Amino acid sequence: MEFLRRFLDYLDGLTARELVLKAVYTVGVLSALIILVAGLMMRKVLSDIPSVDKLDEYTPSLTTYVYDINNQVIAEFSVEKRAILPLSRIPVDMQNAVIAMEDQNFFRHWGISPRGIMRALMRDILHRRSAQGGSTLTQQLSKLIFLKPEKTISRKLKEMILALQIERNFSKAEILALYLNQIYFGSGVYGVQSASKLYFGKDVGEMTLGECALLTGLIPSPERFSPFNNPERAKQRRRLVLQRMLAEKFIDAKEAEAAEAEPIPTEKSTLFASHAAYFVEYVRQQLEPRYGIAQLWKGGMKIYTTLDLSMQIPAEEIMEKHLAKYDQDAAKNRAAAPAPETADGVEKSSVPLQGGFVILDNRTGAIKAMIGGRNYRDSKFNRVTQAARQAGSTFKPFVWLAALMNGYTPASIVEDSPMAYYYDGKDWRLLEGATDQYAIDLAIQPFIGNKDFKIWVPNDFDGKTQGRITARRGLELSRNLASIYLVTRVGPTLVADVGHRAGIKRNLEAVPSIGLGTSLVTPLEMASSFSTFANGGIHVAPFGVLRVTDNSGRVLEEAVPEETESFSPQLSYVLVNMMKGVVQRGTGAYASRLRRPIAGKTGTSQDSKDMWFIGMTPDLTAGAWMGYDDFMSLPMKDWTGGGTVVPWWTEIMEAVLKEQPVRDFPVPDGITFATVDQETGKLALPTCKKKILESFIKGTEPKEFCDAVH
C-alpha cells in the first residue's frame, strides 16, 4: 500500500504531457519485449524445420516383394507395407473421396486454411486441449513426413510453415499423390496400393466407389473404423464419405446408393499369407548380407525367384497330409503298446514326425519347390538345407557310378555274400577267406572280448544274401553287401570323390561303410547330386534367385547357372538307366504308377532314423526325406523307404507333372543296347526267360551268351 501511495503521489506531480510520454515509452518497451520474445520463439521453431527441398529426394520405407517364376507374390519383406504409385494409377473416386472428406478446399487454398485453424483453435480453447484439427491435406503431409506425432503449439506452427513451403515448391497433383502414397491405413500398411491389397485383395486401380469410400473412412483412426474390428462402424464411415462426395457433386445419388450397398470385407486378403516360408527365409539369408538390412526391408526391391507356386502349394499340402497320418498311426501304436513303450526294443519319439522336400530343375539348378519342415512358425530349422542326416541306401548310386568308371557294367556280376572287416589300428581291412557266416564266426572267435580288436560284420536289411547277382539287380534291390563289395573293389576314396563331384559339399568319410550312406548329407545336396546324373553328368549349382531389381526397376543382379562337367554323358546315362530299374522292379516300385520314365533310389539309414527317396525325370529331380528331429527311430517296419516316403513323393509328383509331357531320358552318342539275361548278365538267348534290354557304353557290352534256361 505504501508503494501504491508513493506511485500515485509521483503521478500527481507530473504534467499531462509528461504522463503521455511516460505511457508511450512504457508501451514501446513492452512491445519491444513482446516482439523480441516472439522472435526468439519463432527462431526456435524455425531452426529445426527441415527443408522441403528434401521432399524431392524423399524415399519412404517401401515393401520388398518376392515373386515366384510366374510373377505371383510369394512373400514380402517390410518394416511398413507400402507401395508408391503415380497419381494416374490411383482411381479418381479415391482422390475425390479423400478431398471431400479431408480437405474440400484443397485446390483453392495455398497450404493452410485460416478458417479451419480458427475453428480448431476455438475448439481447443473451449475444451482446454492442445492445438489440433483444422489441417489441410498439405499440413497433414508435412506432419506425416517431417514432424513428430506430438500435439503442441510449436509443432502446429512448424506444420503450417512447412505446408506453405510445400505449396510453393510442388503442384497440387504432386502433393495429392504424395499424400495418397503416405497415409496410414492400419495393420502396418501405408498408401492406397498396399491398403487395397490388404482389404480387398486387388490392385488399387480395380477398386470400386464403395471400396474407395471405405478406405477413406479409415484415415482418422484405421483400427477403430476397421471393417475387421467393427463392421457397423466401418459402414457408417463409408456412408459419411459418400454423403460428403455427394455434397461436393463428385458423385450422384444413384452412385452413392449403389456404393453403399456393396459388401464390406470381413477378413484380410490371403495375398499377405505366405507359402514357401522356408524358401523365403533361404532367399533372405542369401540377400540380406549382400544388400544390407535397410535395402532389403525398406528399399522396395523386387526379388524374382525360381520357385513355382503351382508345384509348391500341392507339395506342402500332400506332405503334411501324409506325415500327419503317420503321426496318428504312431500315437495309436503307442497307446496300444504294453508299458514301457520300448517293449519292442525301439525307443519312441515324443516329437512330431518331420519331413523335407525339394524339386530342382535338372538343366539349370533352379529350385522349383522347397519344404523345410511341417510348420515354419513352430520350427524355423530348414531340413532341406540344414539337416545333415545319414543318406542310407540313397548313397549307393555314387558307389555304382564309381564302379562304372572302373570298368564295371550293369551286367557285371557282384557278390552279395557275407563278409567281415577288422580294424588294424589304421585302416579297416577285409577278413580274407571269411565268405560265409560259419567262416566269419570261426575267424573272429579268438578275438571276442579283446578291446583292441574291432570287427565289423555288415548285413542286409532282410538278413539274407543273394549270392552272385548283376550290378543292376544289386542296385534295384538295394543290397548292402553288394555295395560294400564294390566299395572294396574301387576304393572308398573314389566313391567319396564321385559324391563330391556330383554335388555333395560336406565331408565324406572314405571308409568301407561309405556305400551304406553313413556320412551326413542334406536333402538339397542329395537332390542336386542326382540331378547331375539326370543332366548328362553336368552339375549345376542349386539357386533360388533369378533376378533382383531396385524400386526403380534397375537390375541389381541376374543369375547365371554355375555348370561343372563332372562325368561323361555315357556314364551318367548308364547309371540313370539302372536307376530306372529301381522304380520299374525294385524298392521304389510304388512310383511306377506315375506311368512315365522315373529313375530314383530309396534309402533308410541305420536303425530307421531316416527315410529317403530321390527321384528324377529328364527335367526335374525331387528329393524327399522324413524322420524325427531327435534322431529317434521311425516305428514303421519299412527297411527301404519304399513304403513310407515313396507314396507321398509319388502323390506330390503326380500333381506336379500332370501338365508336363511324358518323355524319356535322352540317349547320348556312344551308347549301345543289348538284350541280356537278367540273372547272369550274359547275352540272352531266345530260351532265356528273364531278359532285359540293357544299356552299355559302346564296346563294354557282354560277348558271351547265357548257357542256361532260367
Q: Which residues are catalytic?
A: 102, 393
- Name, in order, each residue with C-beta under 8 angstroms of 652's C-beta and a sequence gap of 6 or more: 314, 315, 318, 319, 357, 622, 624
- In our burial notation (b when 16+ CB lie closer than 10 A, e otherwise), range 266-285 reads eebeeebeebbbbbbbbbbe
Long-range contacts made by residues 440-444, C-beta under 8 angstroms, separation at least 24? 444/420
- Name, in order, each residue with C-beta under 8 angstroms of 510's C-beta and a sequence gap of 6 or more: 491, 492, 493, 495, 496
- In our burial notation (b when 16+ CB lie closer than 10 A, e otherwise), range 340-361 reads eeeeeeeebbeebbbbbbbbbb
Which residue, among 189, 255, 200, 212, has the nearest Cα to 101 in the 3D structure? Answer: 212
What Cα–Cα distance (Å) separates residue 233 from each residue in 219, 239, 575? Answer: 13, 10, 68
SS3 414: strand
Q: Is the omega angle on the peptide bond into residue 702 within 30 degrees of 0, that is, cis?
A: no
d(CA 167, CA 165) in angstroms, rounded, equals 5
Read off the C-alpha cell for 709: 534256361
Determine which helix (DSSP H) or strand (DSSP E) holds 293, and give its type and residue range.
helix 293-298
The answer to whether 695 and 577 have CB atoms below 8 angstroms apart is yes
d(CA 563, CA 579) in angstroms, rounded, equals 23
How wide is the angle at C-alpha 163 spanned by C-alphas 157 and 169, nearest 5°?
140
Read off the C-alpha cell for 444: 573272429
β-strand partners of 557: 548
The answer to whether 301 and 311 have CB atoms below 8 angstroms apart is no
For strand 599-604 and strand 610-616, is the pairing parallel, antiparallel, or unpaired?
antiparallel
* Alpha helices, H only, 300-451: 309-336, 396-405, 437-444
Read off the C-alpha cell for 555: 537390375
For strand 302-305 and strand 64-67, is the pairing parallel, antiparallel, or unpaired?
parallel
* Alpha helices, H only, 346-491: 396-405, 437-444, 471-476, 480-490
Q: Tell me whether residue 321 is exposed, middle or buried, using C-beta atoms within 10 angstroms of its C-beta: 0 to 12, 13 to 18, 19 or more.
A: exposed
The answer to whether 592 and 583 have CB atoms below 8 angstroms apart is yes
Read off the C-alpha cell for 72: 505371383
* Alpha helices, H only, 340-444: 396-405, 437-444
